[in-house]
A and B are shown apart, each in its own frame.
Chain A
Amino acid sequence: MKVSLTVNGARRTVDDAGESETLLQVLRDHLGLTGTKNACEQGECGSCTVYLDGTLVCSCLVLAGQADGAEVTTVEGLSAAGAAAVQEAFVEAGAVQCGFCTPGLVMAAHDLLAHNPDPGDDDIREALAGNLCRCTGYQKIVDAVHRAASPTTTP
């Protein structure tokens, strides 16, 4: 089936998406945008997190056809959208180890800060509850979100 969508501001069309394929497969396999990761395919890990019409979603649980006509922002498009602060904070805080979960966590952190510019620890942990990281133990990630919330503060 044919699916047309706007990805990171550019109009993209996929002519041969499968009817039961997901937005994640469209992004990675058809459009080559591999920043969005594929791990659990059941909404447990958060590594495939993107914005769909401005709403944070697991792209593995969205049908390709459901995304037809939508605006999608992936981690590749965040910098242009002004999210460099979140990404830099992750690097500076040491919140990146193997890096596989990082794109999803950056998306979830970006969404949290868009709704709550000064989150507490509990807010951060609730907002990132759907993103699994098997390296860091999460504390550095929480630190990174605090850092992104107030980028001028130097420790």
Chain B
Amino acid sequence: MVQTTFLQPASWPEALEARAANPDAVPVAGGTDVLVEVNFGRLHPSGLLDLGRVRELRTWGREKGRVRVGAGVTYSELITQLRGDLPALATAARTVGSPPIRNRGTLGGNLGTASPAGDCHPVLLACGAEVEVASSRVSRTVPADEFFVGPKRNALGADELISGVWIPRATGPQSFSKVGTRNAMVIAVCSLALALHPDSGRVGTGIGSAGPVPLRAREAEAFLEGHLAERGAWESKRPLEEAVVDRFAELVSQAAAPIDDVRGSLRYRRHALRVLARRSLGWCWNDYREAAR
């Protein structure tokens, strides 16, 4: 049996030193993913690097048009503290697990696990977030859509830790929706985040649990951006034609790369994403029109 070392840095510099000195140690934030693996004997780490005492990771703050959310901010805090600035992220956080899970699980932990089904990921893609990572030598930011490199694999180096996430504050309506077998305690069969950015004329999307990594529906974004600009729809706030909504939904569905697995079939996921896309665009565009009145 492997003897596990328990490491508990008290500050961010100490955490980065511990990471550099123990590259095989598994970082633990809230523990809601890592402990499942440990409890079931699927993970026998040589070390556990507890980040729970690193106060720097627990903070968040606004800077110009963005919010910097520390990696150790919990889902519960996203819901109660950041709902106004980051509405889709707060909604996604509210669909994670149960209250005790949301009290411990963190945004950084979600990114560290990098599950294709992670609930925050589609929102980070739709909002154009950047992940801030650091080693004891250097810190850098990685665009969210480059951070996920495979199922449960991310762009983090062996000596790096996630320090926070930079997320543009909402300037228009956003939504996050998720399909599952019940209304709580569920891993997504598929999910979709949509963010409208009326200030820049941009449309952001993020598809979850329907590909090896969370995906943007780039063609759907470009189609809708083009349509809204061409028709002057951001200014006129006219209703969207059914054909436009249908085309957007079709492009979202086509952007997914789902598989058949225990939670759902490929065909079902494509169908559900088409439905989620149609509804999400309906909700968001309606909110945009209502807000203007």
B66 to chain A, nearest CB (A): 28
Of B35-43, B84-92, B149-157, B243-251, the segment with at least 4 beta carbons within 8 Å of chain A is B35-43
Do A20 and B4 contact each other (CB < 8 Å), given the known contacts A63-B28, A63-B50, A126-B184? yes
Tally of A interface residues using CB under 8 Å: 29
Residues 88-104 of chain B, each 1 if its beta carbon lies under 8 Å from chain A, else 0 = 00000000011111011
Q: Across the interface, do B100 and A22 meet the contact criterion of CB distance under 8 Å? A: no
Q: Which of B4, B35, B97 contacts A62 (CB 8 A)?
A: B35
Interface centre among A22, A41, A43 (most CB of B within 10 A): A43
Total chain B interface residues with beta-carbon distance under 8 A:
28
**Candidates A18, A19, A42, A130; contact of B40 at CB < 8 Å:** A42
**Which residues 88-140 of A sit at the B interface, judged by CB distance below 8 A?**
108, 111, 126-127, 129-131
B48 partner residues in chain A, CB cutoff 8 A: 19-20, 63, 65
Residues in B whose Cβ lies below 8 Å from that of A87 = none
Q: Is A36 an interface residue (CB 8 A)?
A: no
**A57 touches B (CB below 8 Å):** yes
Question: Mask for B163-185, Cβ within 8 A of A = 1, else 0?
Answer: 00000000000000000000111
Determine if B6 and A129 form an interchain contact, defined as CB atoms under 8 angstroms apart: no
- Nearest CB of B to A129, in Å: 3
A62, B3: Cα distance in complex, Å: 19
A94 to B52 Cα, complex, angstroms: 40
Q: Which residue of B lies closest to A129 (CB)?
A: B184
Q: Is the CB of B101 within 8 A of A58?
A: yes
- A85 interface residue (CB < 8 Å to B): no
User: Contacting A22 at CB < 8 Å: which of B39, B40, B101, B184?
Assistant: B39
Is residue A60 within 8 Å, beta carbon to beta carbon, of the partner chain?
yes
Q: Taking A19-B5, A42-B39, A65-B50 as given, write out 16 further A-B residue pairs in contact, using a Cβ cutoff of 8 Å, ordered by the A residue number.
A: A1-B6, A20-B45, A41-B40, A42-B36, A43-B97, A57-B103, A58-B100, A61-B30, A61-B104, A63-B28, A63-B31, A63-B50, A127-B99, A129-B185, A130-B100, A131-B98
Chain B residues with CB under 8 Å of chain A are 3-6, 8, 28, 30-32, 35-36, 38-40, 45, 48, 50, 52, 97-101, 103-104, 183-185
Those 3 A-B pairs whose CB atoms lie nearest each other, nearest first:
A130-B98, A129-B184, A19-B4
